[in-house]
Amino acid sequence: MKQEINTKSNAESNAANRLLVTVIQDHPGEGAFPNFPKGMRVHLADEECQHFIHWYPCIIEGHETYIPESFVTDGRLNREYNPTELVQQAGDELEVLEIINAWLVAKNANGKIGWIPAESVSSKRS
């Protein structure tokens, strides 16, 4: 039996598997936030965000922001979290790193990582 040899490098394989999107409407963001470490106390609002399900207004270390409910267990972060949103213009291209409850964690052309609502982007082929 002849064995096939994969000639694609890891970099080529990773590039082929990237999810790229194009920003279709400007997104101004809501300011920069620090990284909050796993275990940090989170004060959730009683009601979730009306526009995005499974997101809650919260206060972390005095910072008012929003958080996906899956990031909180027993009033504490269950993973590192930075709520900073990307400030992007229509036509900008982003690489999607994670998708959580109608929001994307993405990296822009300058290497900055942040959040952007999925409704602000359109998929693109890599």
Residue 65 domain boundaries: 43-77
How far is the C-alpha of 60 from the C-alpha of 124, rounded, in Å? Answer: 35
Total count of domains within the chain? 2
Shared-domain flag, residues 97 and 117:
yes
Question: Residue 23: inside a domain, yes or no?
Answer: yes
Q: Is the domain of 93 the same as that of 70? A: no
Check the CA dihedral 104-107-113-116 and report its sign.
negative
Instruction: Report the phi/psi class of residue 120: left, alpha or beta, with left for phi > 0 and alpha for psi in -120 to 50.
Output: alpha
Q: What is the pTM of this model?
A: 0.83
> Which of 56, 115, 39, 48 shows the shortest CA–CA distance to 82?
115
d(CA 58, CA 68): 10
Domain membership flag for residue 114: yes
pLDDT tens profile 14-70? 556 789 999 999 999 998 999 999 999 999 999 999 999 999 999 999 999 999 999
- For residues 88 and 66, membership in a common domain is answered with no
Does residue 106 lie within any of the structural domains? yes
Residue 4 lies in a domain: no
